[in-house]
A and B are shown apart, each in its own frame.
Chain A
Amino acid sequence: MVEIPRRSLLAAIAALGAGACSKIAESDTGQSLFEAAQGGHRALHRALAGRQGLAPEYAPEDRSPSFRGNGSVTVETPFYKDQLAKGFPDWRLTVRGLVERPLSLTLAEIRALPQRTQITRHDCVEGWSAIGEWTGPQLAVLLDAARVREEANFIVLRCADTLYGSAYYESIDMVEAYHPQTIIAHALNGAPLPEKNGAPLRARIERQLGYKHAKYLTAIEAVASLDGIGKGKGGFWEDHAGYQWYAGI
């Protein structure tokens, strides 16, 4: 009897199928299938949860003992290091783009706005989760103060950090931007944001995966289209690694 190495046989079958799969994945049809599938999940989530459906919130004792930092864990500029040491006295968050009244806010001004505190779970695309308490104004408060124009379809979150030589950024649609749990957090577990978690400001987009929660925020920009921003796919990981723009799956 011929001895067929079973592992190689299995590998050969897998490679045959996977070869066909990579042909599909690289084709335009494949790409539009992936996009349609992703859009379908988003539509399903929105239909079932509603635009304002809340992510679960937890009790203080449910928090994880620490909160992992991932991706960028600092900003490699002298200005950032200096500001970090001094408590960010000269840090500004601008609200710009398609707005009637552009804003430039200090941390003190951001802390003086109405605040929301929420204990939520952070799910990384890799699979792990951490739970922490976040405090900051709702993004909706900032957008209303700046009076976002009708033509705006997306909010782009601009960041100070760079990864692999490119500026980090992310974007969300207006449903997510006006969601009650979407906040610009300046505190984690009652203390100012640690450096690894995005000091001094980070976004919390609670119904999506971690890579949407942009850290080291410098600007909030209302735009009509994502074309021409980065490589046009709506975020750092979307541009450079092909991650899904809708990170709710």
Chain B
Amino acid sequence: MAKHALSTRLWHWINAAAIIVLFMSGLNISNAHRHLYWGDYGFDPKEAWLSVIRFPGWATLPQHYNLALARDWHILAAWPFGVGLAFIWIAMLANGHFRRDLATRPSDWTPAGVIASLRAHSAGGADAAHGYNSVQKILYGMVLGGLLPLMLFTGLAISPGFQAAAPWLLELLGGRQSARSLHFLAAWGIFGFFVIHLVLALANWRLILEMITGGRRAAQASPAIATALPAEGAREHG
């Protein structure tokens, strides 16, 4: 049995590309008005709760300031991102990935659970062959169930054409400028996850190969064999 379902792998790479385009074009869009506000309105930089730097060309898409083209990219990549997020949630619920690997138990949230995760990791256990540990479940859950949906809903809410469809969404988010601030904060939250995720994956590049080929779920096939042949679980981890 494959460690990563085809649906997971497809979504992972399409979503990765979409997020890179959205993040870099988003930084370009941020340069148009670098001030963030809470509430419904906000236009005076003196009233901003945060004024951010002008993001340099090398970090933005396109690589020079062009609001129209940046918005073209943002509007395009929003489709694979939004549709993809709905797709992966349906797939995860249908194929058991969510229940098996991501749903947490109360014990995952205890300090003991977190410490056990960290120990298991340093002993060579950051491997989905044995299921995700508590820290992984919590982090992946926060991204898939928290940051990514927040990104989607705040993005929809700040579109003036969408607000007529769901005015309650803007109210829930505390107004249009609040939604825009949350959109910005969630983007950096996802960037933080991206960095950690990338560093840990590069530390064990086979994990990246497995996200392409699917890998094999060794330990669950037969616990007896897994015990007799610990090589699969005990391989090197960076």
A residues whose Cβ falls under 8 Å from a Cβ of B: 10-11, 14-15, 17-18, 21-22, 25, 33-34, 37-38, 40-42, 44-45, 48-50, 53-56, 58, 62, 64, 68, 121, 123-131, 206-209, 237, 241-244, 246-249
Q: Does B185 contact A (CB under 8 A)?
A: no
Q: Does B114 contact A (CB under 8 A)?
A: no
State the 3 A-B residue pairs at the shortest beta-carbon distance, nearest first. Answer: A248-B161, A48-B165, A53-B164
Q: How far is the CB of A56 from chain B (nearest CB, A)?
A: 5
- Chain B interface residue count, CB cutoff 8 Å, equals 44
Q: What are 15 A-B contacts with C-beta separation under 8 Å?
A: A18-B24, A21-B61, A33-B76, A41-B159, A41-B161, A55-B164, A64-B43, A68-B44, A123-B158, A126-B33, A127-B30, A128-B42, A128-B43, A209-B160, A246-B161
With A62-B40, A129-B176 known as contacts, the answer to whether A49 contacts B161 (CB < 8 A) is: yes
- Rounded to whole angstroms, the CA-CA distance of A181 and B94 in the bound complex is 43
Please indicate the chain A residues that have their CB under 8 angstroms from the CB of B62 in the complex: 18, 21-22, 25
Bound Cα distance A33, B74 (Å) = 12
Task: Write out the residue numbers on chain B whose beta carbons fall within 8 Å of the beta carbon of A42.
Answer: 161
Q: How far is the CA of A53 from the CA of B73 in the complex (A)?
A: 27
Question: Is there contact, CB below 8 Å, between A45 and B162?
Answer: yes
- A residues less than 8 Å from B163 (CB atoms): 55-56, 207
Chain B stretch 148-202: residues in CB contact (< 8 A) with chain A: 158-167, 170, 176-177, 180
Q: Is the CB of B41 within 8 A of A129?
A: yes
B68 contacts A241, C-beta separation under 8 Å: yes
B87 at the interface (CB under 8 A from A): no
Q: From known contacts A22-B62, A41-B159, A241-B67, infer whether A121 and B79 are also in contact, taking CB-CB under 8 Å.
A: no
Complexed CA–CA distance, A56 and B170 (Å): 9
CA distance A68 to B158 in the complex (A): 19
CA distance A45 to B62 in the complex (A): 27
Contact between A128 and B33 (Cβ–Cβ < 8 Å)? yes
Count CB-based A-B contacts (< 8 Å): 139
Find chain A residues with CB under 8 A from B170 CB: 56
**Inter-chain contact A17/B20, CB cutoff 8 Å:** yes
Beyond A14-B59, A121-B176, A126-B32, whether A37 also contacts B43 by CB under 8 A is no
* A244 contacts B33, C-beta separation under 8 Å: no
**A45 with B161: CB separation less than 8 A:** yes
B 23-68 contacts with A by CB, 8 A: 24, 29-30, 32-33, 35, 37, 40-44, 58-59, 61-63, 66-68
Complex: chain B residue closest to A127, CB-CB: B33
Across the interface, B40 reaches (CB within 8 A) one of A14, A33, A58, A124, namely A58
Q: Do B166 and A244 touch (CB < 8 A)?
A: no
Which of A33, A48, A62, A129 is within 8 Å of B162, CB to CB?
A: A48
Smallest CB–CB gap between B64 and chain A, Å? 10
Our pick among A11, A21, A128, A241 for the contact of B73 (Cβ within 8 Å) is A21
In whole Å, how far is B151's beta carbon from the nearest beta carbon of chain A? 15
* Chain B, range 116-174, C-beta contacts under 8 Å to A: 158-167, 170
Partner of B161, one of A10, A129, A131, A249: A249
A238 to B207, CA, bound (A): 46
Q: When chains A and B are docked, how far (Å) is the Cα of A78 from the Cα of B41?
A: 35
B155 to chain A, nearest CB (A): 9
Q: Does B69 contact A (CB under 8 A)?
A: yes
Give the docked Cα–Cα distance between A49 and B168 (Å): 12
